[in-house]
Structure 1
Amino acid sequence: MSDNDGSQSLDAELIDVARTARERAYAPYSKFRMGAAVRTYDDEIIPGALVENVSLGLAMCAERVALFGTVTTGHKPVRLALVSPRTDGTLTHPCGACLQVALELGGPGVEVVVVDPDGESATSTVGELLPCGPHRS
């Protein structure tokens, strides 16, 4: 995992779509607004926003909304951007469930770019964040 210094792994268009999706997040309980976007192998961008529910198990993370959208539209993810507030002072990364879905749908090489509202970012891969995740061979 590395902090971004303007390298090519930073995808401004993808991050802008995730920022816009964050504005649409439905977070009446936590107020923790998150937006995501996935860039696919054929260069499509699929947005996703956090959708909470009073029944917590029915909530859906922004990352999974975007990742599931790749299946719906017939695409495969190559890069995932997440824009959200920091958690305990550090950049917020996807949860284990979101990483597992990214691993399943795109593989360990899917790039993950996390960004806070001030624009600070870090880039890693699903394989780095979930090194022992179960996946197909």
Structure 2
Amino acid sequence: MAPLSEAGIQELRAKTLEARKLSYSPYSKFKVSAVLLTDDGQYIEGANIENASYGACICAEQTAIVKAVTTGHKNFVAIGISSSAGTVTPPCGICRQVIREFAPQIDVYMFTEKEDYLMQPLTALLPHSFGPEDLLDLPAK
């Protein structure tokens, strides 16, 4: 996939920062958002949703992916991620795997509140990954 233009990066950044308002994080106060850009130009927002039972928390990236897939979107150009930490926040390991399921070649843009950002292809964040193709050709038993 080709990297986004500077204008595309700034639009994804703005939508990602805005989506942090959707976070439900009363326990950690750590607000995270993720915005997927689909191949048809739509932006799909997600935010972290906490739960008093911490194991039931849902990450922003997972929220965005589930929302996208359940509304018929499976082709993505980029994903933007932002947190209230003030620094670049990469996706956690589980989120990397969830993103990988649907977008193994996606570019991941990690934004700060300032103009700073880091872009890494998912292949750099999750090298030698395991995906659907590793299961499709298994012999029948």
Identify the TM-score tier after normalising by the shorter chain: 0.7 to 0.9
CA distance in 1, matches of 2:34, 2:99: 12
Q: Which runs of 5+ in 1 are unaligned?
A: 1-6
- Structure 1 residue corresponding to 2:54, chosen from 44, 53, 56: 56
The answer as to 2:92 corresponding to 1:92 is no
Q: Which runs of 5+ in 2 are unaligned?
A: 134-141
Indicate if the aligned counterparts of 2:82 and 2:88 stay in contact, CA closer than 8 A.
no
Structure with bigger helix share is 2
What fraction of aligned residue pairs are identical, expressed as a percent?
34
Higher relative contact order (CA 8 A, sep 6+): 1
* TM-score of the two chains, using structure 1 as the length reference: 0.85
Give runs of ≥4 in structure 1 deviating > 2 Å. Answer: 7-10
Q: Which residue of 2 is the match for residue 4 of structure 1? A: none
Indicate if the aligned counterparts of 2:25 and 2:50 stay in contact, CA closer than 8 A.
yes
Q: Which residue of 2 is the match for residue 22 of structure 1? A: 20
Q: Which residue of 2 is the match for residue 81 of structure 1? A: 80
User: Which amino acid in 1 is paired with 2:13?
Assistant: I
Q: In terms of Rg, which structure is larger? A: 2
User: Which of 10-19 and 92-101 deviates more?
Assistant: 10-19
- Please list the CA deviations of residues 42-90 of structure 1 after superposition, one character each: whole Å capped at 9, or x if unmatched: 1111000111000111111111111111101111222110011348xx5
* Residue-pair matches, total: 128
User: Which amino acid in 1 is paired with 2:58?
Assistant: M
CA distance in 2, matches of 1:105, 1:113: 17
Shift of 1:31: 0.5
User: Which amino acid in 1 is paired with 2:48?
Assistant: L
